[in-house]
Amino acid sequence: MKAIFERLRTRFDQVVGVHERPERLAAAWALGLTIGFSPLMGLHTVLALLLALILRLNKVDVFLGTLVINPWTLPVYFPVAVFLGKRITGVRVPRFVLPRPEEVLHAAVWRQHAPWLRSVLLAWGAGATVLALIAGAVTFVVLLQMIRLHRRRRHRGTPAS
């Protein structure tokens, strides 16, 4: 049984790139987070796999990095990105009144709210782009230092905690 767990752990380490150089491992995660924070919702997985292939980074690590924005983090991330985007672009986002549920599927309702939607998407796009670039850069620097520290400690035989 112990041999099975050891083989599984070795295989897991290979899949997630544990044995990669620290720079490549940090770059894979940073790229994933940059894509995850980007305003290109719906394209994150395709972009992550394509860029991982082109840059020859670990596909699993890049993909896992994209999962930072998910249904649990989106309610915090989206307003922050819109707020930042409004500050950067100067776009005014008018108040929005939710349509009644029976009106949601009518095109006239969406045409009526088009100015609001345009301003929100512009603010969000600008804010999300800036957040993505910051998140990617910070992730690379911090993770690179953490990986190096962890490996030095492990190499010396001292506990990593």
Percent of the chain with pLDDT over 90: 59
The residue ranges of every structural domain in the chain are 12-154
**Torsion over CA of 94, 96, 127 and 67, rounded to 10 degrees?**
180
Q: Which of 64, 29, 40, 37 is nearest to 143 (CA)?
A: 29
The token duo for 2 is 């112990």
pTM for the predicted model, two decimal places: 0.80
Place of tokens 């309702």: 109
Side-chain half-sphere exposure of 21, counting CA atoms within 13 A: 5
Task: Estimate to the nearest angstrom the gap between the alpha carbon of 80 and the chain centroid.
Answer: 14
The proportion of the chain whose per-residue pLDDT surpasses 70, expressed as a percent, equals 91
What pLDDT digit, counting tens, does each position of 35-52 carry? 999 999 899 999 999 999
The 10s digit of each residue's pLDDT in 85-140 is: 999 999 998 777 777 888 878 888 878 888 888 999 999 999 999 999 999 999 99
The overall average pLDDT reported for the chain is 88
